[in-house]
Amino acid sequence: MNFSTANLRTDRHWRSATGLDQKRFQNLLALLPAAYEQLYGQSIDLRHKDCPDEPALSSYEDLLLFTLFSLKSGLSFDLLGLATGMDGSTAKRNQDSGLALIKTALSQSSHIPKTHFDNAESFKAYFSDKGPLLIDATEQRTQRPKDVDYQQGMYSGKKNSYRQVINYCYP
C-alpha cells in the first residue's frame, strides 16, 4: 500500500484520512483480530501465507486504514485503487472485506446499534430504557383534500404538492 499510518503525524491528518483520531483508531484496531478470526476462521497472517501473490493489505492496521480512508474520501474504486497501489476491483473487494470486519468487530463489542425489529412491540421494548426517542418524519406526502374548509388548513397556497409535517415522540 502506498500510504500507512506512519504518514499520519498529527491529529488533523488522522481525522482527515480516517474520520477518527489516533486513539479511537487504535481502540477499533484492537477489536479486529477476534472479528477477523470469527469471519475467516484464521488470523490474517495465516490466511495471507496461503496466497500465491503478495497481498495489497497485509495487516489489520492496513485493512482498517484502507477501509476508513475509502469511506472518508468518497473516491471511485478505480481512483481509490490508484491512490493505494491496487486495481479498482481489488479496492472494491478490500473495502467490502473491511466493512464486514468492522461491522463484526462492532457487533461483538456491542457498539453497533440495532437496526432491524420484527414488530412494534420489540421496537418499544428495545427503546423502553433509553429515554425519549424522537423520530423526524417530516415531509410526508398527502393528497389535497376536496373539502374546502379542511383544505384551507392543509393547503399552503403554492402549486407544489403539499407535505404534512408530523413529528412523533415515543417516551
pLDDT tens-place string over residues 48-82: 887 788 888 888 999 999 999 999 998 999 999 89
Does residue 80 sit in the same domain as residue 19? yes
Query: Last residue of some domain: 59, 74, 108?
Result: 108
Does residue 62 sit in the same domain as residue 134? no
Would the pTM of this model clear 0.75, i.e. be above it? no
List 163's β-bridge partners, or say none: 141
**Distance, CA of 35 to CA of 41 (rounded, Å):** 9
Query: Last residue of some domain: 80, 108, 136?
Result: 108
Task: Report if residue 114 sits inside a domain.
Answer: no
Does residue 41 sit in the same domain as residue 124? no
Does residue 18 sit in the same domain as residue 52? yes
**Which pLDDT band holds residue 26 (cuts at 50, 70, 90)?**
very high
Do residues 166 and 137 make contact, with C-beta atoms less than 8 angstroms apart? yes
The phi, psi pair for 167, rounded to 5°, reads -115, 130
Task: Show the DSSP H helices in the chain as ranges.
Answer: 11-18, 22-40, 44-49, 60-73, 77-84, 88-108, 120-127, 148-154
Does residue 166 sit in the same domain as residue 83? no
Task: Report if residue 87 sits inside a domain.
Answer: yes
Q: What cell numbers appear for 119 in the block?
A: 414488530
Residue with cell 479498482: 88
Does residue 98 sit in the same domain as residue 152? no
Does residue 96 sit in the same domain as residue 132? no
Q: What percent of the chain has pLDDT over 90?
A: 43
CA 43 vs CA 36, 67, 82: distances in Å: 7, 18, 27
Task: Report if residue 29 sits inside a domain.
Answer: yes
Does residue 22 sit in the same domain as residue 96? yes
Does residue 141 sit in the same domain as residue 96? no
List 141's β-bridge partners, or say none: 163
Q: pLDDT tens digits, residue range 98-144?
A: 999 999 999 999 888 888 899 999 988 888 888 888 777 776 677 77
CA neighbor of 14 nearest in space, from 36, 29, 30: 29
Does residue 127 sit in the same domain as residue 98? no
The b-or-e profile of 109-127 (16+ CB within 10 A means b, else e) is: eeeeeeeeeeeeeeeeeee
Number of compact structural domains in the chain: 2
For residue 140, the enclosing domain spans 120-170
Task: Report if residue 113 sits inside a domain.
Answer: no
DSSP secondary-structure letter at 3? Answer: -
Does residue 82 sit in the same domain as residue 128? no
Residue 144's H or E segment, with its range, is none
Does residue 99 sit in the same domain as residue 133? no
